[in-house]
Amino acid sequence: MLNIFITGTNINIGKSFITAGLAATMQSLGYSTGVYNPVQIGPSGLNFLKKVDPYIKTYSSYPLNTQVMPQTIPLIAAELEGVFIDKNVIKKDYQTYSIENDCTIVECTGGLMTPIAQSFLMADMIRTLDLPTVIVISPNLDTVNHALLTINQAKTSGINVRGVIINNYPENAQDISIRSIPRLIEEYSDAKVLGMVKHFDELNKINPNDLITNILNGIDIESVFDVTISRLRVD
């Protein structure tokens, strides 16, 4: 099974966008693909995923309907709804759900140190599910610092970092600090930059085929999922 966990350095960096793009791309390559969000806060990410490809299977153990902002910490969102999040339920649901797919992508709100439940951080969830992890970042002046901190925390937590994807990367970056981000991440950590996805101005109007094309052109899909994909090979 080609299963990965998508996390990020911060909120509002496009984890759901990258998740949707990767899922749609794998589906287009012939792999039955599902997206599992253990704690789904609000419908925005799910709605975007279904817009990109309505045939991608989705599942959440704890779909929270509270009227809080989507980036609310899962622990707090659950408390507001009086919901107890059980890590054993998440593990069981993931194991059951992932069997149905060739490829399962797991994504949840927040970063590695985000509380999911009492004494249960995002990093704990990743270890519980035993998944290789891809870190999504967005280029700005703090990116290298945040990326290196996240990579180091993942390593300390015993998490296998598959690599880094840079979202919203400007096509013709003029700022030397922005252009240096991929090199600095690889120079100061043992993580590989697996790709860069360009900025899209209007996500609500994005053409799914354009998204898949940009994912394929910008990201090393085979390295993300650690698989050789014959359809990507040119004889």
Q: What's the confidence (pLDDT) of residue 113?
A: 95
Instruction: Find the mean pLDDT for residues 21-42.
Output: 94
Region 30-54: mean pLDDT is 88
User: What is the pLDDT, as a whole number, of residue 112?
Assistant: 95
Q: To the nearest 10°, the Cα dihedral for 166, 167, 170, 176?
A: -30
User: Does the pLDDT of residue 69 top 80, yes or no?
Assistant: no
Tell me which amino acid residue 119 is: S
State what percent of residues in the chain have pLDDT above 90: 69
Q: What does the pLDDT average to over 71-87?
A: 88
Confidence of residue 68 (pLDDT cuts 50, 70, 90): low
pLDDT digits 0-9 by tens, 108-152 = 888 999 999 999 999 999 999 999 999 999 998 889 999 999 999
**Domains, the chain, with CATH or none:** 4-230 (3.40.50.300)
Who contacts 219 (Cβ-Cβ below 8 Å, separation ≥6)?
22, 165, 194, 195, 196, 197
**Can you give the pLDDT at residue 18?**
94
Is the model's pLDDT at 200 over the cut of 90? no
Instruction: State the chain's mean pLDDT as an integer.
Output: 90
Confidence of residue 205 (pLDDT cuts 50, 70, 90): confident
**Chain mean position to CA 231:** 24
pLDDT at 207 over 90: no
Provide the pLDDT for residue 140: 85
Q: Could you write out the three-class secondary structure of 138-205?
A: CCCCCHHHHHHHHHHHHHHCCCCEEEEEEEEECCCCCCHHHHCHHHHHHHCCCCCEEEEEECCCCHHH
Q: Which residue has better confidence, 102 or 72?
A: 102
The per-residue pLDDT for range 153-185, each reduced to its tens digit, is 999 999 999 999 999 888 777 778 888 999 999
What is the structure's pLDDT at 119? Answer: 93
Structure tokens at 166: 């840079």
Q: Name beta bridge partners: 159.
A: none
For residue 87, count other CB atoms closer than 10 A to its CB.
Answer: 18
Residue-level pLDDT at 8: 93
- Provide the pLDDT confidence category of residue 234 given band limits of 50, 70 and 90: low
What percent of the chain is predicted at pLDDT more than 70? 94
C-alpha–C-alpha distance, residues 10 and 147, integer Å: 10
The angle formed by the CA atoms of residues 43, 45 and 47, to the nearest 5 degrees, is 60
**Which residues, in sequence order, are CB contacts of 196 under 8 Å at separation 6+?**
165, 166, 169, 182, 218, 219
Helix crossing, 44-52 with 208-218: angle to 10°?
A: 90
Across 90-94, 194-198, 207-211, least confident range: 207-211
- Is the CB of residue 36 less than 8 Å from the CB of residue 45? no
Residue whose entry in the numeric block shows the structure tokens 């099974």: 1
Is 90 exceeded by the pLDDT of residue 12? Answer: no
Angle at 81 between CA 80 and CA 82, to 5 degrees: 95
